[in-house]
């Protein structure tokens, strides 16, 4: 080092006079290219099947689309005319807006888009679906030259065109982007006076979100409680026995998730094995173990248990038994030796297992769907319902985005509290 050549800027030079850094980079370039080529297939796969769908989801949560078209592209004239109208004035929009609606609806009807529009607005104000569906044909029969004024004409076709709330909804959702899906996802809505909470009996998503997080936390705790001793036993046994037991831990993975969940149904139901045994023991009342939160916790704890045991095991295996012996030789009781010496060294495994189980649980779908009943469903079940049964992709995407953000926030908090470097998966 002391005798290495340097150039005018003080950079160290290689033997041929090029800067050492540049020379090193050149030497490593081939190696880097080869590494890149090796990961390219997976990278491509992840980008196409993971990053792009998530990006699409994030976009859909704010895009104001009816079917495949943006709403303002379907009602361009209305979108332009309604801008100056203030719903707070308490008056219906001016004649130009009604005329614009007739013009846009005629085009939409010709291209068979008016029902999509109706469904889009219906998400915000129930009833607008039928308003658009029923009005389509009759509006297309109007003559723009002769049949004005169109305010009366439209109200004549359907009284609901005179409803101020409906026009407010149209105004609020006439842009390319909207926050209405996110508002709906947190049980809020926009009425003529601004943004407000939904009626208490219509609030579901916040409750579902809290329930999902709470049950996931309970499940994580249960897997820790059951998995910790098992992992310890595994780490303590000689390799041959440990491997055999490890296979037993992994055995559930060889059975379909659906089969495992269904078998819990058989075990836990009213006339199921456990209840029959309960009654045989002499109890009169049968337990309701399924189609509620208890059922979800039992079944998911079982299903997610390996994800807790494996990281714990891999961490515990690296802790030599001499630590416990040392603690005892220094005068610690079994419990003190465990709690002060062994346990602190396993926190990395608890962190890894806990994070893994919690994040898996938060997104779980099949098990809560099958054994959750009415009060045991997770937010993922609602997301599925929104896009498969209702077709409201925007709301489903907004809910998904919120879940993503919540998990990322939790991850961040965890990182600040525990430090992600302390997490060991193997």
Partner 1 sequence: MADGASSDAFVEFERVQKSYDGETLVVKDLNLSMPKGEFLTMLGPSGSGKTTCLMMLAGFETATHGDIRLDGTSINNIPPHKRGIGMVFQNYALFPHMTVAENLAFPLEVRGLGKSEREEKVQRALDMVQMGAFGGRRPAQLSGGQQQRIALARALVFEPELVLMDEPLGALDKQLREHMQFEITRLAHELGITTVYVTHDQTEALTMSDRVAVFDDGRIQQLAPPDVLYERPENSFVAQFIGENNTLEGVIKEIRGETCIVQLDDGEIIDANPVNVTEPGERTKVSIRPERVEYNMDRLQEGAHTLKAEVLEFVYMGDIFRTRLRVAGNEDFVIKTRNAPDQVRLKPGQQIEIGWLPQDCRALDA
Binding residues for partner 1, per CB under 8 A?
320, 322-323, 325-334, 336-337, 340-341, 344-345
12 vs 330, beta carbon nearer partner 1 = 330
- Long-range Cβ contacts of 1-4 (<8 Å, 24+ apart): none
Are 12 and 19 contacting, i.e. CB atoms less than 8 angstroms apart? yes
Nearer to partner 1, 327 or 350 (CB): 327
Q: Which tokens is 368 given?
A: 């809560």
3-state secondary structure 123-190: HHCCCHHHHHHHHHHHHHCCCCCCCCCHHHHHHHHCHHHHCHHHHHHHHHCCCCECCHHHHHHCCEEE
Min CB(306)–partner 1 separation in Å: 27
Minimum gap (Å) between residue 316 Cβ and partner 1: 14
Nearer to partner 1, 268 or 423 (CB): 423
Judge whether 121 and 173 are in contact, CB under 8 Å: yes
Taking the least distance from each CB to partner 1, the nearer of 27 and 326 is 326
As a whole number of angstroms, the distance between CA 247 and CA 237 comes to 14
Q: What is the Cα–Cα distance from 122 to 67, expressed in whole angstroms?
A: 13
Could you give the angle at which helices 393-417 and 205-236 cross, rounded to 10 degrees?
A: 50
Nearest CB to partner 1, comparing residues 248 and 326: 326
User: In this structure, what DSSP letter does residue 253 have?
Assistant: G
Decide whether 194 or 320 has the Cβ nearer to partner 1. 320
Residue 32 or 325 with smaller CB distance to partner 1:
325
Neighbours of 55 (CB within 10 A): 11
Report how far residue 231's alpha carbon sits from residue 225's, in angstroms, rounded to the nearest whole number.
Answer: 11
Q: How far is the CB of 319 from partner 1 (least distance, A)?
A: 9
Task: Please say whether the beta carbons of 307 and 360 come within 8 A.
Answer: yes
Of 29 and 340, the one with the shorter C-beta distance to partner 1 is 340
Q: Could you tell me the smallest distance in angstroms from the CB atom of residue 342 to partner 1?
A: 10
Helix residue spans in 47-127 (DSSP H): 52-60, 71-74, 76-81, 95-110, 114-124
Write down the least CB distance from residue 397 to partner 1, Å: 44
Q: How far is the CB of 331 from partner 1 (least distance, A)?
A: 5
CB of 346 to partner 1, least distance (A): 10
Residue given tokens 């456990």 in the structure block = 274
Residue in this structure with the two tokens 């010496």, named with its chain if needed: 341
């Amino acid at each position: 080092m002391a005798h290495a050549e340097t150039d005018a800027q003080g950079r160290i030079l290689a033997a041929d006079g090029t800067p050492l850094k540049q020379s090193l980079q050149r030497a490593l370039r081939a190696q880097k290219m080869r590494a890149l080529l090796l990961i390219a297939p997976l990278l491509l796969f992840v980008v196409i099947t993971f990053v792009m769908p998530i990006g699409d989801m994030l976009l859909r949560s704010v895009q104001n689309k009816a079917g495949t078209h943006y709403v303002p592209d379907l009602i361009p004239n209305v979108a332009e005319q309604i801008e100056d109208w203030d719903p707070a004035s308490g008056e219906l929009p001016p004649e130009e807006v009604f005329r614009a609606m007739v013009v846009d609806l005629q085009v939409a009807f010709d291209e068979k888009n008016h029902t999509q529009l109706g469904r889009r607005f219906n998400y915000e104000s129930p009833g607008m679906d039928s308003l658009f569906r029923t009005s389509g044909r009759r509006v297309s029969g109007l003559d723009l030259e002769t049949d004005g004024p169109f305010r009366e004409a439209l109200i004549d076709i359907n009284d609901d065109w005179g409803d101020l709330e409906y026009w407010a909804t149209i105004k609020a959702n006439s842009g390319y982007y909207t926050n209405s899906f996110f508002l709906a996802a947190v049980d809020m809505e926009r009425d003529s006076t601004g943004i407000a909470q939904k009626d208490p009996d219509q609030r579901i998503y916040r409750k579902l979100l809290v329930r999902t997080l709470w049950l996931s936390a309970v499940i994580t705790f249960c897997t820790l409680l059951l998995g910790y001793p098992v992992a310890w036993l595994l780490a303590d046994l000689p390799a041959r026995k440990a491997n055999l037991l490890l296979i037993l831990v992994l055995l559930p993975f060889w059975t379909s998730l659906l089969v495992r969940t269904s078998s819990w149904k058989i075990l836990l139901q009213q006339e199921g094995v456990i209840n029959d045994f309960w009654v045989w023991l002499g109890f009169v009342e049968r337990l309701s173990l399924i189609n509620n939160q208890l059922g979800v916790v039992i079944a998911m704890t079982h299903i997610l248990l390996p994800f807790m045991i494996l990281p714990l095991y891999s961490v515990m295996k690296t802790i030599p038994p001499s630590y416990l012996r040392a603690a005892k030789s220094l005068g610690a009781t079994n419990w003190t030796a465990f709690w002060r010496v062994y346990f602190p060294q396993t926190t990395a495994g608890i962190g890894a297992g806990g994070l893994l189980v919690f994040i898996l649980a938060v997104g779980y779908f099949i098990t809560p769907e099958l054994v959750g009943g009415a009060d045991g469903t997770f937010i993922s079940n609602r997301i599925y319902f929104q896009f498969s049964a209702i077709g409201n992709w925007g709301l489903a995407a907004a809910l998904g985005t919120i879940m993503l953000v919540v998990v990322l926030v939790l991850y961040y908090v965890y990182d600040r509290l525990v430090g992600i470097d302390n997490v060991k998966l193997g």
